[in-house]
Amino acid sequence: MASVVTSASMSLDGYIAGPAESGFELLFAWHNNGDIEVPSADPRWSFRLTAASAEHVRGQLAEFGALVVGRRLFDLTGGWDGSHPFGVPIFVVTHKAPDDWAHPDAPLTFVTDGLESAVRRARAVAGDRAVGVAAGEMARQALDAGLLDEIRVDLVPVLLGGGTRLIGDLADAPVRLGTPVVRESEGVTHLRYPVVRAPGV
Amino acid sequence: MASVVTSASMSLDGYIAGPAESGFELLFAWHNNGDIEVPSADPRWSFRLTAASAEHVRGQLAEFGALVVGRRLFDLTGGWDGSHPFGVPIFVVTHKAPDDWAHPDAPLTFVTDGLESAVRRARAVAGDRAVGVAAGEMARQALDAGLLDEIRVDLVPVLLGGGTRLIGDLADAPVRLGTPVVRESEGVTHLRYPVVRAPGV
């Protein structure tokens, strides 16, 4: 079955967004600090990456088959104008679908019966590819539900001092992870942590 | 002049201690997860480390010439019973020296006129070696005073969900760091970040 993965750029002090949705230019500076152009699925823009980060991003682009995000991220990004850089189906967990969504033909589905339902539907379309779950509150729900297989962190050398945390408010801490796979780059360290589950969970 | 460095074991979500001073057995598991015995300065105990972590710890033991800690850490550890594993002079920043310190002959000095004074005194005895400043509130004060040169994080694959943060409450965020020197190990990733200062600061 498709593995479920959360992936985020994070400050050294553990934030995926700074106070009042600040800091994105720092958290995502590594998307544009190299010489290697990696096209996104959106023809309007590309990544410009170091060699190590290019390998990392190409892997992500090939590996993810569907995404699950929350309404907050959907609103914050304007639903990526209907064109997410990964170019895969997106399931938006929300209490109520918006009435005025401007891109009804985009591969984007509003799911009103919760995270687990969204992951189930994402898995159905992802096939063998991974399901990406947005960091923060969605990743917290996936972890608490025992659905999360891996946490990928693009660790950025900055202290933001506050903001949105990687995995929301954990219901059941501490959570043990495995030793990460590490890929060093410039201005970012790519880390992939397996989630370690207690036997039988 | 001696560089000023803070060094801490930290959870992936940014905590150097879990809620209510919990989680130390997880944060410091890497001190005892390998086959290589590295003696501390305290004859009562040794590290047992992987090869990569042994190299890291031997470097720290050789490199630090004095330490600056806060009263909270001093109280929490019982002043290391007067025998810190690094075996170097320690300066404890406190409002008032304790009346009942049981190890008056230990190389430990109570400093009642603040962090900057403690760093000055620590530098004087450290010579060419580094001054270590405890993470948390002491590191925050050192960073805000422009005294901190490097942040070393032993990043541990666990989520603690809350607790004591790496660098207290920053007065002036964001703080930019440089790309880290990375040393991979088992159950920990050793990261050394230079603090990037604005010109003239």
pLDDT average, residue stretch B136-159: 96
Distance separating alpha carbons of residues A141 and A172, to the nearest angstrom? 11
pLDDT average, residue stretch B77-91: 94
The two three-digit tokens of residue A172, written as one number = 């059941």
Beta strands in chain A, from DSSP E residues, in sequence order: 4-11, 15-17, 36-39, 46-49, 64-70, 90-93, 108-111, 130-133, 150-156, 158-159, 164-165, 175-176, 181-184, 189-194
Q: Provide the β-strand partners of residue B92.
A: B69, B110
* A window 127-166, beta carbon within 8 A of B: 151, 153, 155, 157-162, 165-166
pLDDT of the residue at A201 = 44
Burial B99-117 (b: 16+ CB within 10 A, else e): eeeeeeebebebbeeebbe
pLDDT average, residue stretch B97-122: 96
Of A162, A166, A188, the CB nearest to B13: A166
Q: What is the CATH number of the domain that holds B125?
A: 3.40.430.10
Distance separating alpha carbons of residues B110 and B121, to the nearest angstrom? 11
Count Cβ atoms within 10 A of the Cβ of residue A35 and give its class: 0-12 exposed, 13-18 middle, 19 or more buried: exposed
Within-domain flag for A199: no
pLDDT of the residue at A44 = 86
Distance separating alpha carbons of residues A152 and B191, to the nearest angstrom? 17
Q: Provide the β-strand partners of residue A90.
A: A67, A108
Altogether, the residues listed in chain B come to a count of 201
Handedness of CA A108, A109, A115, A119 (dihedral sign): negative
**pLDDT tens, position by position, B27-48:** 999 999 999 999 998 888 899 9
**pLDDT tens, position by position, A182-191:** 999 999 999 9
Handedness of CA A62, A65, A66, A67 (dihedral sign): negative
pLDDT of the residue at A169 = 87
pLDDT of the residue at A151 = 98
**pLDDT tens, position by position, A148-172:** 999 999 999 999 999 999 998 888 8
Count Cβ atoms within 10 A of the Cβ of residue A113 and give its class: 0-12 exposed, 13-18 middle, 19 or more buried: exposed
A201: CB partners within 8 A, 6+ apart: A146
pLDDT of the residue at A198 = 61
pLDDT of the residue at B200 = 47
**Chain B within 8 Å of A173 (Cβ-Cβ)?**
yes
Q: Which domain holds residue A18?
A: 4-194
**Chain A within 8 Å of B11 (Cβ-Cβ)?**
yes
**pLDDT tens, position by position, A82-101:** 999 999 999 999 999 999 99
Within-domain flag for B53: yes
Within-domain flag for A201: no
Minimal C-alpha gap between A157 and chain B (Å):
5
Within-domain flag for B199: no
Within-domain flag for B26: yes
The two three-digit tokens of residue A150, written as one number = 């891996």
pLDDT average, residue stretch A18-23: 94
Checking if the pLDDT of A105 tops 60, the result is yes
Q: Provide the β-strand partners of residue A66.
A: A131
* A23 interaction partners in chain B (CB closer than 8 Å): 174
* B162 interaction partners in chain A (CB closer than 8 Å): 173
Q: Using CA coordinates, name the residue in chain A closest to B25.
A: A174
Distance separating alpha carbons of residues A139 and A175, to the nearest angstrom? 13
Checking if the pLDDT of A199 tops 70, the result is no
Within-domain flag for B38: yes
* B158 interaction partners in chain A (CB closer than 8 Å): 174-177
Distance separating alpha carbons of residues B171 and A166, to the nearest angstrom? 22
Within-domain flag for B201: no
**pLDDT tens, position by position, A25-78:** 999 999 999 999 999 988 888 999 999 999 999 999 999 999 999 999 999 999
Within-domain flag for B81: yes
In chain A, the number of structural domains is: 1
* B151 interaction partners in chain A (CB closer than 8 Å): 12
Question: Which of A53, A159, A175, A181 is the best substitution to test chain B (most B C-beta atoms within 10 A)?
Answer: A159
pLDDT average, residue stretch A13-19: 96
Is residue B5 within 8 A of residue B181, CB to CB? The reply is: no
ipTM entry: 0.94
Contact: B174, A23; criterion CB under 8 Å = yes
Question: Which of B24, B25, B159 is the best substitution to test chain A (most A C-beta atoms within 10 A)?
Answer: B159
Of B22, B170, B184, the CB nearest to A161: B170
Q: Using CA coordinates, name the residue in chain A closest to B157.
A: A177
pLDDT class of B198 with cuts at 50, 70, 90: low
